[in-house]
Amino acid sequence: MWYKVNELHSKGLNKSQISVELGMDRSTVRKYLLMDEQKFLDWISVAQHRPHKLKEYRHFVKTTLESHPYLSASQVEDWLKEHYPDLPCVHSKTVYNFVEQIRREFDIPKTRSKSFRQYEKLPETAYGDQAQADFGSFYISIKDGGRRKVYFFVMILSRSRQKFVSFQDKPFTSQTTIEAHNHAFEYFEGQPDKIVYDQDRVLMVDENLGDLILTREFKLYSSQMRFTPVFCRKADPESKGKVENVVGYVKKNFLRGRTYTNEKALNESILDWLTRTGNGKIHAGIQKIPHNEWIIERDYLHPYYKQIKVADSLLPYKVRKDNTISYKSNFYTLPLNTYQGADTLVLLKVENETVYLYGNDKTLLTTHKVCNERGCTIRNTDHRRDKSQSLEVLKTEVTELWCNIPSYPLFIEQLTAHKQRYLRDNLQLLKTKSVGIEPSFLEKAVHFCIESSMFNANTLIQTALHYQKESQAITASVMPHIEIKSSLSTQTGYEPQTSKINTYQKIM
């Protein structure tokens, strides 16, 4: 700061201007300007004896740093708050200075950590639009001196930065991941429109060249919830950099130096940590407290109703072809596509005049009010909605765009049969990439793809572009014929001389 003050003074700024520019008191600026460099160095080398609000916690900080020299000042501050509820209210910078002073006094250097990978900052999303989820693991110390590996699930609301963390001492499965989602939605008091994930095996079986195949349990669960799962491409952590940072934050600020007792105690501690630190301190990125922002964002979240614990004495009922079950002479509807063949069963439970219908994995499918009449159909209007309608709309739009291509219906029929999983991507490409290509080249490309049994929209578009470029190249290579007329014959009547053939015969 001394150097900055003198630099601005050398540029012609007066004391008042420097005070405003640097946010300093004018008397401090004047004091710095009266000292040359040597006097300033001598002044700062002398310890400033001022009363410290944290002096009573000196021994705790010293022993903590000696045991765990790699801890950051922020984590030391959190530990002070955890162990001393009556800790004076001081600025984080005060704690940092206090920790650094103890490090210098007792020669406790901070362990150098590895450099972190840099991620691209994405634009802010709307309230309730997106969350990001990820998994982490960490070897935590235990009382006998060994180490134990713990696993944790993290979810963060992208706009408010409100975080949730759940621990367990075994690797996550599809079922325990679903339970962690439920705990997160309870904590957030709702669920967002989308959740961004890595391509983790507990959620997804295979990428299949862009056609994601989810595990059976997670596919069924996500179809019942209001959120849409979105999976990043492989080796693309920037797409969910917010949750990646939270995973590192949990490891370095909460787990490092902590001793493991049991899973329950760890989950209780993490909730306290989230309240006072993870969601209670100002976030460096948005410069706001996540908890305060979450109070705004929760009004934009879809409602989440806590799933009822299912008893083991559930009654199995056969699902009819029209996605209903018959119970006490009435029909109760189920979500579309619940029926998967003659052996499809659901589990039924009646409680408090409500019918609860569950899948075979005991996940709640739907609820209905008990009907005391006979021969009625109790329907949930959402069950009649065909959720594939958007695909049909896209298919209709592309058909209208390609109406001038006679062979298109045969091509799209074969494409649907061979590439059902990629149909949406293919239709989208046909809709956007065919603009600017003449219909004759599109028709020629369609013929080529059908004859070659290459039912792929990208192949079709590239072939059409090839034909178009080829035609343009041929046109450019043909020089235009220019008719040259003689001005002599038209203007002066001049006739060119001719020779007799006998003249040439004599020469030969």
Beta bridge partners of 324: 333
Q: Which uninterrupted H or E stretch holds 148?
A: strand 147-157
Q: Which of 155, 113, 147, 118 is nearest to 247 (CA)?
A: 155
357's CB contacts (< 8 A; 6+ apart) are 317, 325, 332, 334, 346, 347, 348, 364, 365, 366, 367, 368
pLDDT for 209 equals 44
Residue type, 154: V
Token reading at 234: 């492989």
CA–CA separation, 281 and 288 (whole Å): 8
CA–CA separation, 154 and 66 (whole Å): 30
Contact 220, 346 (CB under 8 A): no
Q: Which of 459, 395, 393 is nearest to 427 (CA)?
A: 395
Q: Cα dihedral sign for 427, 429, 432, 438?
A: negative
CA–CA separation, 151 and 147 (whole Å): 13
CA–CA separation, 204 and 198 (whole Å): 9
Q: Which of 324, 320, 322, 363 is nearest to 343 (CA)?
A: 320
Contact 87, 80 (CB under 8 A): yes
pTM: 0.49
What share of residues in the chain are helix, strand, coil (percent, to 5)?
45, 15, 40
Contact 362, 310 (CB under 8 A): yes
DSSP reduced 3-state for 325: strand
Residue with tokens 């960490």: 138
pLDDT for 3 equals 84
pLDDT tens-digit readout, 170-187: 999 888 999 999 999 999
Burial class (CB in 10 A: 0-12, 13-18, 19+), 97: middle
CA–CA separation, 220 and 359 (whole Å): 9
DSSP assignment of 392-411 equals HHHHHHHHHHTTT-TTHHHH
- What is the 8-class DSSP label of residue 191? B
CA–CA separation, 480 and 476 (whole Å): 9
Contact 48, 101 (CB under 8 A): no
Token reading at 491: 């203007």
pLDDT for 482 equals 53
Q: What angle, 0 to 180 degrees and rounded to 10, lies between the N-to-C axes of helices 26-34 and 2-10?
A: 90
CA–CA separation, 238 and 243 (whole Å): 10
List helix spans (H) across 68-128. Answer: 73-83, 92-106
pLDDT tens-digit readout, 442-490: 899 888 988 888 888 888 899 989 988 888 888 776 655 555 554 544 4
- What is the 8-class DSSP label of residue 254? I
Q: Which of 359, 367, 341 is nearest to 222 (CA)?
A: 359
Residues of the chain under the 70 pLDDT cut: 46-51, 112-122, 205-213, 233-239, 306-313, 381-390, 421, 477-508
CA–CA separation, 339 and 323 (whole Å): 6
DSSP reduced 3-state for 297: helix
Residue type, 257: G
Beta bridge partners of 349: 356
CA–CA separation, 142 and 273 (whole Å): 20
pLDDT for 309 equals 47
Domains (range + CATH), the chain: 2-106 (no CATH), 130-300 (3.30.420.10), 315-384 (no CATH), 389-475 (no CATH)
CA–CA separation, 431 and 418 (whole Å): 19
- Strands 130-142, 194-197: pairing kind: parallel
